[in-house]
Chain A
Amino acid sequence: MEWVDEALVLSVRPHGETAALVELLTREHGRYLAMVHGGRSRKNRPVLQIGNHVDVTWKARLADQLGHANVSIRRGFAAETMNDRLSLCALTSLCALSRTLAERDPHPSLFEVSLFVLGFLDDATVWPALYVRWEMALLEELGFGLDLNECAVSGLTDDLAYVSPNSGRAVSVGAAAPYVDRLLTLPGFMLSGRRGVVTRDDMLAGLKLTGHFLEHRILVPREALMPDARVQLPALLAREKI
């Protein structure tokens, strides 16, 4: 049993003295665990950093086995972001949340979006909005996509400005009036086809919105906690100069 694919490194754990157990988000094969012999070697340590884009060759005698992998670097996103706490936090958060995906269940479109977001981590005016859209994509892949096409109350497709924290459906300004304090703000950039300047407040509102659904739909039912990096992300974004 053998396949070749590209992947993002989600986590690395030492195994014995020289090997490493790696968790990868592959394009065609989904989230995969594998043993990398010599994974703690001087040669492989820079490659096996969280967030790196790698080429993988996975081999095992049977498909069900853990298998072992050979990895080589494509793009070192970890090294690119290491000196910037905000983008490093986003990279860590993206990798930590990707671990909520079911094992060996392919999500090629999410993989593509992930690469796209990571590719923009050096531009803080762009990536936070992309990151929020990535979390939307993650929710969708996990079966909890937000319905932002029309107002849940009136059916209108204009003036959508809020989201119901229970149903995940958009609500228009007019219909939201009696319940505003209980609804989540929907920033314009999260609606498909919208263009224009994305402010820091928009980014923070987007993070709050997706964070709410990630927590209540994905993490709480699994008795899992929000990853530390994701918890810190809004505070850092609010504070750091971008």
Chain B
Amino acid sequence: MSDKIAGPEIERLISLLGRMPGLGRRSARKAALALLKRRDDLLMPLADAMRDAAEKLTECVQCGNIDTISPCTLCADPRRDQTMIVVVEEVGDLWALERAGAVRGLYHVLGGHLSPLDGIGPDRLNIAKLVKRAHQPEVTEILLALNVTVEGQSTAHYLTDALEASGVMLSRLAQGVPVGGELDYLDEGTLLAAFKSRSKV
């Protein structure tokens, strides 16, 4: 039986939607149907928004964030703490930190982590700009908010070396028991990290 249920334009829409993370072909069909049913109030505005974003999409010259302006909205915001740079691996990590509202500093997106397996060395990451930014007189602290994986921490160690000469204070995120975490459900690595980072009460 044929898998196609509509004309080539709609099939193309379903096929492209199906390539989005979290969507399979079945979900893509549902999403496409919802869009087609709401042509004027959803499909057209979405198409315009996507075209607009695609045309204006750019990488921030300062931090590597993705935005429609460069320097990005965060770098251009004078209310942000200019003394602190938070280093993250991907734009998704930056968005996660912003969602939490935990930091009001500036960001620096590396664009990944060191991975010898995938042939990603320091030259493939946005490290040279970070070193340059670290030497700016207003910067006093760099927070390495990298993933707690072998690759993420190897990258953190590399950055520690690379930023040593700048003289800024280097810090990293704490590791341990998450909020709402029940001890008997935590993995051994997290428990070990929590034990090592125990603090006096």
A interface, CB within 8 angstroms of B: 11, 13, 17, 43, 45-47, 49-51, 73, 75-76, 78-80, 82-83, 85, 88-89, 91-92, 96, 227-229
User: Is the beta-carbon distance between A50 and B150 smaller than 8 angstroms?
Assistant: yes
Given contacts A46-B189, A79-B193, contact A228 B150 (CB under 8 A): no
A-B contact pairs, 24 of them (CB 8 A): A11-B117, A13-B117, A17-B21, A45-B149, A46-B187, A46-B190, A47-B187, A73-B188, A73-B189, A75-B188, A76-B189, A78-B189, A79-B188, A82-B148, A82-B150, A83-B153, A85-B154, A85-B157, A88-B153, A89-B154, A228-B114, A228-B116, A228-B121, A229-B116
Min CB distance A43 to B, Å, is: 8
Total A-B Cβ pairs within 8 A: 61
User: CA A51 – CA B189 in complex, angstroms?
Assistant: 12
Contact residues in A for B151 (Cβ distance below 8 Å): 50
Min CB distance A238 to B, Å, is: 14
Given contacts A49-B149, A76-B187, A88-B153, contact A96 B21 (CB under 8 A): no
Min CB distance B22 to A, Å, is: 7
Contact residues in B for A11 (Cβ distance below 8 Å): 117
What is the chain B residue whose CB lies nearest that of A226? B116
What is the chain B residue whose CB lies nearest that of A230? B116
B132 within 8 A of A: no
Min CB distance B23 to A, Å, is: 9
User: CA A228 – CA B192 in complex, angstroms?
Assistant: 27
Min CB distance B197 to A, Å, is: 9
**CB-contacts of B171-201 with A (<8 A):** 187-190, 192-193, 196
What is the chain B residue whose CB lies nearest that of A239? B161
Min CB distance B61 to A, Å, is: 29
Main secondary structure of the interface of A (DSSP, over half): mixed
What is the chain B residue whose CB lies nearest that of A96? B116
CB contact between B192 and one of A47, A50, A80, A229 (< 8 Å): that residue: A80
What 14 additional pairs, Cβ within 8 angstroms, besides A82-B193, A88-B154? A13-B117, A17-B21, A17-B22, A45-B149, A46-B190, A47-B187, A73-B187, A73-B188, A76-B187, A76-B188, A78-B150, A78-B189, A88-B157, A92-B154
User: CA A229 – CA B157 in complex, angstroms?
Assistant: 12
What is the chain A residue whose CB lies nearest that of B172? A83
B interface, CB within 8 angstroms of A: 21-22, 114, 116-117, 121, 148-151, 153-154, 157, 160, 187-190, 192-193, 196
User: CA A49 – CA B150 in complex, angstroms?
Assistant: 7
Contact residues in A for B150 (Cβ distance below 8 Å): 49-51, 78, 82, 88, 91-92
User: CA A91 – CA B157 in complex, angstroms?
Assistant: 14
User: Is the beta-carbon distance between B117 and A83 smaller than 8 angstroms?
Assistant: no
What is the chain A residue whose CB lies nearest that of B189? A79
User: CA A98 – CA B196 in complex, angstroms?
Assistant: 30
Contact residues in B for A83 (Cβ distance below 8 Å): 153, 196
User: CA A73 – CA B190 in complex, angstroms?
Assistant: 12
User: Is the beta-carbon distance between A76 and B192 smaller than 8 angstroms?
Assistant: yes
Min CB distance B168 to A, Å, is: 19
User: CA A92 – CA B113 in complex, angstroms?
Assistant: 14
Min CB distance A215 to B, Å, is: 15
User: CA A229 – CA B189 in complex, angstroms?
Assistant: 22
User: Is the beta-carbon distance between B22 and A79 smaller than 8 angstroms?
Assistant: no
Q: Which 4 A-B pairs have the closest CB atoms?
A: A79-B189, A85-B157, A76-B189, A46-B187
Contact residues in A for B117 (Cβ distance below 8 Å): 11, 13, 96
Contact residues in A for B189 (Cβ distance below 8 Å): 46, 49, 73, 76, 78-80
Min CB distance A48 to B, Å, is: 9
Contact residues in A for B188 (Cβ distance below 8 Å): 73, 75-76, 79
